[in-house]
Structure formats: C-alpha cells, structure tokens
Amino acid sequence: MNAQQAKFVIGLAVVSGAVSGCAGSFEAETDAASPIAPRIQALVDGNREYPRWENFPQATTDAPGPVEVAARVQGLTGAGASLQTDAERIEWTLGDPTTLANEITARVDAQQMAPVTAETQAEVEAFAEQARRRAEAPPPIDRTPAPSGDGPR
C-alpha cells in the first residue's frame, strides 16, 4: 500500500515538473530589434484577455427534460417491440437451400437458349486466341542514335 502511494507521489512529481517545464516554452519572446516588434507587441497586449466569457454563446435552454427523454425512450422501445412482433409473423419461404438451388436450375434450364450462347467450346477458344493476338504489343522502336547528318531512321 505504501509502495503504491510512493509510486503515485513520484509520478505526480514527474508530471508536474514536465508541465511546469513546458509552460515556460509557450511564453512569446519578440525580438526588440525587429521593425515590426512594436506592432506585434501592441497586438499581443490588445488581445491578452481574449476570449471573454461574454464572447461565448449562451447555452440553450430548450433541451428536453429527463421526463421527456424517458417518454421518447419508452416510445422507441415500444416501436422496437412492435417491429419485432411483425418480423416474427412473417412466413419465410426460402426453405432448404438445396431445394431452392434445384428449383432455380430447373427454371433456367426450361428457358430457350439464345443462339449466341450455343457456341461450341472450339468457337470460344478461337475467339479468345484472336483476342490474344490483337492484344500483342507492336515490336519495339529502334532507339539507337542516328549518325550525325543522316536524319531519322
């Protein structure tokens, strides 16, 4: 117990020393030889007491009281309970995921297939190869400097 108090006192002493050391570094020093020193000092002296409490806006008094806040909370709690009840009454029809997937597959298979989707694997591969050939970069440009007087190659 005493060791804990000693640690607290030492920590408090360290923090207070650090704060007092930092406080001195915030004191402004103006170079008296500067041509704008009188103007700076006049501005500092003129605003030394700013801000004043009368410059701050007044606190609003139209905030709801504890009774009104409690009533609003009760209303939200009631609305949440009503929503929960409504959600529990919904009959969810998704059922088994495997059955649902089979039903969707059957509906898709029953649709007429468009001619473009009936292309064979060979046609798809031929199109892909053609696209790859078109995507090849052109040969590199010869960047060797031309001998003087010849002009561009």
Summarize pLDDT for 118-132 with one digit per residue, the tens.
667 778 888 999 999
* pLDDT tens, residue by residue, 58-109: 887 788 889 999 999 999 999 999 999 999 998 877 778 888 899 989 998 8
* pLDDT tens, residue by residue, 23-35: 556 666 778 888 8
Query: Tokens 């190869």, residue?
Result: 129
| pLDDT score of 102 | 92
| pLDDT score of 2 | 63
- Measured distance CA(51)–CA(90) in Å, rounded: 60
Class of residue 109 by CB neighbours under 10 A (exposed 0-12, middle 13-18, buried 19+): exposed
Q: How much is the pTM?
A: 0.26
pLDDT band at 22 (very low <50, low <70, confident <90, very high): low
What is the SS3 assignment for 54-95? Answer: HHCCCCCCCCCCHHHHHHHHHHHHHHHHHHHHHHHHCCCCCC
Query: Tokens 């060791």, residue?
Result: 3
